[in-house]
Chains A and B, each alone.
Chain A
Amino acid sequence: MSTQQSAKLNELKELTGARDIRELCEFFGYQDASEFWEPIKEAKAAVITGLAIPTLRNYRHLSKGPEYIKHGNSVLYLPLVLHLHNFRNLISLEEVA
């Protein structure tokens, strides 16, 4: 696992309140940590983020939203990146107040 990958996992651990990787997998219902790195298609990414597929497409066009991988015409997302995007975009109650 690269430094960048482990940094992302650590950030997600912090954001969810998990103490280790096992707890992090437990939180997301994954069997093991490798599932965070299995690329998924747009439709599944839309379910994870709660965004519509056209919104994800629009985000890619505008170069914003979660990072993605492009292989020819197919677009793939990494579950870790999507979960991280979800948790990073939570609005703190203190900010609202």
Chain B
Amino acid sequence: MTKTPPPSRGFTYAQHARIAIELGIAERKIFAMAAAIYSSYPAAVWRSVLNKHAYFTKHFRELRSLLDDQLFLEQAKNNLSLKARCIYYNGLGNQVIKMQGIDFHITPTVSPFFSRKKPGFTVEQYRHVQQQLEEVKDLFWFLQVALSTSYIHKPDVGKLLLLIHDSLEQIQTTLENRLKKKHGETHVLFTTPPIERTFLDNSLTDLTTSARHIAKYIKALHDDDNKAICRLEELAAKCTPPKYVTETAGTSKEVLS
């Protein structure tokens, strides 16, 4: 039996809307992080982080407009009312983001820019920011998997996602280095909550776990060679294989690879 890639059905309208909401929340998290760093650190640090933030924002906007274009394209194909859908789509996104009530300011001060001594983050604040960054990175990994299983491969989207991921990694590394320098090595370790994203249909839910494994897999490649081989073997054993769909004579059935 030959393995074939899954059919490119595209996202449904609800999936598009849900992804838009998730992207909106991710954007707000990164925005809040940039604001906190700008007000809490001296110029040498915020310049370094905001360079990467600008890079992230640029590619993030491109990705979002690509997804929006795709949605409009599908609506046109289905002869739906573009205007009505668009209003609902944006309205829903804003409403949910508002309801989430994310705490944007990590260091609330009255006039942070007029203080000569900017203290930087505490260990707790570092952990909070790192956790937010991990969540956003997870979202992009998940989106990459969801896009590649739902659409015909588009190199532009894949490249954008990689660039976004790269800029987030760089922000994280800068912050980690800062944390090590200020608070020592012992505080670097932190835990991330398990991912709970079921905003696409059920057949894609298990890909969330796979996305997380892929992320670890890539990370392992950057470690020492010897360690990497052991870790890759461990991860490969744990990894849940994704489901593929094969179509035979008009009927489709699910096959575990």
The residue on B at minimum CB distance from A91 is B51
Q: Which residues of B contact A92 (CB under 8 A)?
A: 51, 54-55
Which of B30, B51, B113 makes the CB contact (< 8 A) with A79? B113
B167 contacts chain A at the CB level, 8 A cutoff = yes
Using known A-B contacts A50-B47, A93-B52, determine if residue A29 contacts B39 with beta carbons closer than 8 Å: yes
Q: Are B43 and A90 in contact (CB under 8 A)?
A: no
Instruction: Report the bound CA distance from A28 to B38 in whole Å.
Output: 8
Q: Are A16 and B105 in contact (CB under 8 A)?
A: no
Instruction: Report the bound CA distance from A17 to B105 in whole Å.
Output: 16
- Mask for B54-71, Cβ within 8 A of A = 1, else 0? 110100000000000000
Q: Are A87 and B110 in contact (CB under 8 A)?
A: no
Q: Are A47 and B113 in contact (CB under 8 A)?
A: yes
The residue on A at minimum CB distance from B39 is A29
The residue on B at minimum CB distance from A93 is B55
Q: Are A94 and B55 in contact (CB under 8 A)?
A: yes
A48 contacts chain B at the CB level, 8 A cutoff = yes
A56 contacts chain B at the CB level, 8 A cutoff = no
Q: Are A28 and B47 in contact (CB under 8 A)?
A: no
Interface positions of B (Cβ within 8 A of A): 27, 30-31, 34-35, 38-39, 42-44, 46-47, 50-55, 57, 104-105, 108-116, 167, 170
Q: Are B115 and A47 in contact (CB under 8 A)?
A: yes
Q: Which residues of A contact B51 (CB under 8 A)?
A: 90-93
Closest chain A CB from B213 CB (angstroms):
28
Q: Is the interface of B mostly helix, strand, loop or mixed?
A: helix
Q: Which residues of A contact B46 (CB under 8 A)?
A: 50
Q: Is the interface of A mostly helix, strand, loop or mixed?
A: helix
The residue on A at minimum CB distance from B31 is A17
Q: Are B167 and A27 in contact (CB under 8 A)?
A: no
Give the number of chain A interface residues (Cβ < 8 Å): 24
A77-91 contacts to B (CB < 8 Å): 79, 86-87, 90-91
Q: Are B57 and A17 in contact (CB under 8 A)?
A: yes
CB<8 Å pairs between A and B, sample of 29: A16-B31, A17-B27, A17-B30, A26-B105, A27-B34, A27-B35, A28-B38, A28-B39, A28-B113, A29-B39, A29-B108, A29-B109, A29-B110, A29-B112, A44-B113, A44-B114, A47-B115, A47-B116, A48-B114, A50-B42, A50-B44, A50-B47, A87-B54, A90-B47, A90-B50, A91-B51, A92-B55, A93-B51, A93-B170
A23 contacts chain B at the CB level, 8 A cutoff = yes
A1-54 contacts to B (CB < 8 Å): 15-18, 23, 26-29, 40, 44, 47-51
Using known A-B contacts A50-B47, A87-B50, determine if residue A29 contacts B31 with beta carbons closer than 8 Å: no
Q: Which residues of A contact B42 (CB under 8 A)?
A: 50
Q: Which residues of B contact A87 (CB under 8 A)?
A: 50, 54
